[in-house]
Structure 1
Amino acid sequence: MGSLIITRTFIKYSLFAFNIIFWLLGTVLLVIAIWSKTEKGNLMDFNSMAVDPATVLLIVGAVMFWIGFFGWVGALRENVKFLQVFATSLVILFLGEAAVGILAFVMKEKVREVVEEHMFDAIKAYRDDSDLRDAVNVAQRTFKCCGVRNFTDWQENVYFKCCNEGIESCGVPYSCCKMDLQVNLFCGVKIMDYTTEEYCTNTNQYVPMNHIKKEVSADDQIYQTGCLVTMEGWFNTNLYYIGGAAIGVAIVQIGGVWLAQSLTHKIKSVSAGYYHQK
């Protein structure tokens, strides 16, 4: 009987600690998401709920809050129904993650097309949304890239298009530049060489990659590879680490289900009088 009580207490408080962390993380994500929605608006307004970071945070935070709440209360109060809701929710979450992973692998070309489309949308809206602009700059500086496929993709933005007469025309954002510590906001200005008659009459034609002013020396000044290509390379290079992290998350979720089921079993056993003191 003593060992049963010790085991039950250990499982109870292990599950309680697991869920209090889970619940707190969900609460933090919810607060950030609600703040983003009310104060900052959509960080990436692509007319798609799926790619709005604030919406993603809101959904993830709500799910974590829901699961953590039922697991926390279920463990603390030894409520079998709450524990069953918690375990079922974790199983559904695990199956959903597995389904998304499988679909992403099977339909990777379609996923790539969708990501590429939204990245071009981000380029087009670069000057219209300060949060989006910051996100793009961070991505380009982090992954040491420029544009989607290459730096000429910035011709999709009206401010950087060569046919525009503004100061940024025929250039790229400063985050495309190869800088270590000192930031030069004008290092990407007017780096391309073009002919008005050839490229401004055809709005669908880019200035070719090799049309860069000689004095700029683009190989030394800006990154030419696009972020989609660079990110794909990073993903492939770190595939084992990403897979390991996914397996780790799965183990944690399965462990949570096991703790909930074990505690439920012991609660039911005691309630049924299965254990008795000899």
Structure 2
Amino acid sequence: MGGGVPIGILVKDRAPGKAHPSAHRPPGRKGAFLWNLLFLLLGLLTLAIGVWGLLAKGWLQGERLAPLASDPMLLFVLAGLGASTVSLAGCLGALRSSACLLRFFVGATLAFVGLEVLGGLLLLVARQRLRDALQDALLLCLLRYQEEPDLRFLVDEVQRSLRCCGLNSYRDWESNLYFNCSAPGVQACSVPASCCLDPQQNGSITNDQCAFGVLHLGDMAAAGVVHLGGCVVQLGAWLRAQAGGITTGVAVLVLLEATGLLLALKVLADIAPGGARG
């Protein structure tokens, strides 16, 4: 018959197991891929900041590896490495419809959520111990003030913003080897300029010598130069005032993680009936 379709083509088109490639693509995998791609980029950015910080201070040059574990930049490295690894697994799992990678992503995300819940419970149950741990961490910052640029920046920002000095009082700086009155340097019997009531000279330039020799003075005279109160009480009050913002931030983080989980589980559910690739 002149206008008919060849029977061979019809048989070929209708052959079993030859479905169109798009039939095996889970409809939600594009959203899961884009969602995890965003967190992959954020994780890589965090990792890059941490590595840059360690390189800038020479931690990775070989001669300063011993105290590496106490460096705050290591937290950026670990957080960025963990987030980028999990997000990469989610991206590849959604892109290739791989049940193995998606299950790894779901398990790792659930582990992160579990750690966050455990941390929240610890904050409620062991507040006093955590307060003591915070004070120990601040003492470490005080002792290593001159040795770590990022710790020095952190201490100066806290003292300047909260208008405080030291842990419990300005005299806590006597425990620092450089500010102790028996130290040989020019900073002996002094405290950082961030403790000063007015650290600015001529309204714009920081006067690094505004607190020189203040530990020689009595409390009455020192009160006209530096803040006498410590930062532990002020920091605790600030954290209590920020409780609402912290709670909101945690809720947003959990919501984002839940969204990523739901997207991954949807892709898993779509590819499960057809046989997932590993």
TM normalised by structure 1 equals 0.78
Output one character per residue of 1:114-162: Cα deviation in whole Å (capped at 9) or x when no partner: 2212222222222233443233223322332211122111111122223
User: Residue in 1 aligned with 2:3?
Assistant: none
* Bigger CA radius of gyration: 2
What's the CA shift for 1:241?
A: 1.1
Partner amino acid, structure 2, of 1:28 = L
Q: Aligned match of 2:235 in 209, 231, 234?
A: 231
Q: Structure 1 residue 212 and structure 2 residue 219: aligned?
A: yes
Q: Structure 1 residue 242 and structure 2 residue 240: aligned?
A: no
User: Residue in 2 aligned with 1:76?
Assistant: 95
Q: Aligned match of 1:268 in 261, 265, 272?
A: 272
What's the CA shift for 1:91?
A: 0.6
What's the CA shift for 1:85?
A: 1.1
TM normalised by structure 2 equals 0.78
User: Residue in 1 aligned with 2:142?
Assistant: 123
User: Residue in 1 aligned with 2:133?
Assistant: 114
What's the CA shift for 1:165?
A: 5.5
Q: How does 1:1-278 map to 2 (within 5 A)?
A: 8-9=26-27, 11-41=28-58, 49=69, 51-164=70-183, 166-179=185-198, 181-182=203-204, 183-193=206-216, 211-212=218-219, 214=221, 218=223, 220-269=224-273, 271=274
Q: Percent identity?
A: 25
Could you tell which deviates more after superposition, 63-72 or 100-109?
100-109
> Cα distance 1:184–1:83, how it changes in 2: closer, same or farther (>3 A)?
same
Structure 1 residue runs of 5 or longer lacking an equivalent are: 195-210, 273-278
Aligned partners of 2:188 and 2:127: how far apart in 1?
Answer: 35
Question: When the two structures are aligned, how many residues end up with a matched partner?
Answer: 245
> Cα distance 1:129–1:91, how it changes in 2: closer, same or farther (>3 A)?
closer
Aligned-pair Cα RMSD in Å: 2.7
What secondary structure, in the 3-state scheme, does the structure 1 residue paired with 2:212 have?
coil
Structure 2 residue runs of 5 or longer lacking an equivalent are: 1-22
> Cα distance 1:136–1:162, how it changes in 2: closer, same or farther (>3 A)?
same
What's the CA shift for 1:36?
A: 2.8
What secondary structure, in the 3-state scheme, does the structure 2 residue paired with 1:146 have?
coil
Could you tell which deviates more after superposition, 226-235 or 185-194?
185-194
